[in-house]
């Protein structure tokens, strides 16, 4: 752990320097492979949004990992993503965590996202804790996976890989043990405390999203727009950060860049639609345009 630093207000110039290179002689393998362990029968859209966002972030290959029985539901819905069918228990009531872990680890992955739209089941709990306890590519932990961690004791003491945690205030209250107010100074301090405690990057979402690292670095998004207060927006952010991790961006920088690109895309859409009417599936295309503009400044 390092000394806690002054929080930096993110801007175009800072984030442009964080963009991963796009060499002319690249192929899809150059830009990484991401697995999104996301989605369920009730929340199919979460996995689809997450995977599409990761593709628009510039990831070379994105795989959507879902229970095998649901694979036909997801296959081809995002045409550019492949699917991984996770083995299930004999009665089909849950995933088989050992088989699911093997299905993921046999792939040459550069990053994983886990949580958007998942069922909070025993199988997923065992899968998540097992992944955390083994060294491997970085994880973005979002949504239901955060709720699983909140009921898993001192999980961070057994974490062997880099993670980015992306809670909204309700999830943050559960994982940290206490509610957080809307006060900007309190949000920054509480996110800092959580990052130092967990030894991981914490993204506390909301107006002026806060990003804190275990080494004391901190950043704040300059954006606050009600246009992004819509279902699925967080799934898009999780996929975006995961895609940047897969492309080799370090965890704190991937979180800062993802937060900034996501909110900037929302602001751009809001200039046309206003504060209401944006839907989460509007964001991935605009994210690609935000990246294009940032790249011109790099």
As a whole number, mean pLDDT of residues 111-130 equals 97
pLDDT band at 135 (very low <50, low <70, confident <90, very high): very high
Q: Is the CB of residue 238 less than 8 Å from the CB of residue 27? A: no
pLDDT at 1: 60
State pLDDT tens for residues 254-274.
999 999 999 999 999 999 999
CA 175-238-228 angle, to 5 degrees, is 95
CA distance linking residue 291 with residue 54, whole number of Å? 13
With a threshold of 0.75, does the pTM exceed it?
Answer: yes
- Quote the CATH superfamily of domain 8-18+28-295: Ribokinase (3.40.1190.20)
Nearest by Cα to 205 from 258, 278, 160: 258
Mean pLDDT across the chain:
96
**DSSP output for 83-121:** EEEEPB-TTSSSB-HHHHHHHHHTS--SEEEE-TT----
What does the CA dihedral 24, 108, 42, 122 come to, rounded to 10 degrees?
-150
Task: Give the H or E element holding residue 150.
Answer: helix 144-150
State pLDDT tens for residues 170-225.
999 999 999 999 999 999 999 999 999 999 999 999 999 999 999 999 999 999 99
State pLDDT tens for residues 147-163.
999 999 999 999 999 99
pLDDT band at 3 (very low <50, low <70, confident <90, very high): confident
Q: Is the CB of residue 243 less than 8 Å from the CB of residue 54? A: yes
pLDDT band at 2 (very low <50, low <70, confident <90, very high): low
As a whole number, mean pLDDT of residues 68-87 equals 96
């Amino acid at each position: 752990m390092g000394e806690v630093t002054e929080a930096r207000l993110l801007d175009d110039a800072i984030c442009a320097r964080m963009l991963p290179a796009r060499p002319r002689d690249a192929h899809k393998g150059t830009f990484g492979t991401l697995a999104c362990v996301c989605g369920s029968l009730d929340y199919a859209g979460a996995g689809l949004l997450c995977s599409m966002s990761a593709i628009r972030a510039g990831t070379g290959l994105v795989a959507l990992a879902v229970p095998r029985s649901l694979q036909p539901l997801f296959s081809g819905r995002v045409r550019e993503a492949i699917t991984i069918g996770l083995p299930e228990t004999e009665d089909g009531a849950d995933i088989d965590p050992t088989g699911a872990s093997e299905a993921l680890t046999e792939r040459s992955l550069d990053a994983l996202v886990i949580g958007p739209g998942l069922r909070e089941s025993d199988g997923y709990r065992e899968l998540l804790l097992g992944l955390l306890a083994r060294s491997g590519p970085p994880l973005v932990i979002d949504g239901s996976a955060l709720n699983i961690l909140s009921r898993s004791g001192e999980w961070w003491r057994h974490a062997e890989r880099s993670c980015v945690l992306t809670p909204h205030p309700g999830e943050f209250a559960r994982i940290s043990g206490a509610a957080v107010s809307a006060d900007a100074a309190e949000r920054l301090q509480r996110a800092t405390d959580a990052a130092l405690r967990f030894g991981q990057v914490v993204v506390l979402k909301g107006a002026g999203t806060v990003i804190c690292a275990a080494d004391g670095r901190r950043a704040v998004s300059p954006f606050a727009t009600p246009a992004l207060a819509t279902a699925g927006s967080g799934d898009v952010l999780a996929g975006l950060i995961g895609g940047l991790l897969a492309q080799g961006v370090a965890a704190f920088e991937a979180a800062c860049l993802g937060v900034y690109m996501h909110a900037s895309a929302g602001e751009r859409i809001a200039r046309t639609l206003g504060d209401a009417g944006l839907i989460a599936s509007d964001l991935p295309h605009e994210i690609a345009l935000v990246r294009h503009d940032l790249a011109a400044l790099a």
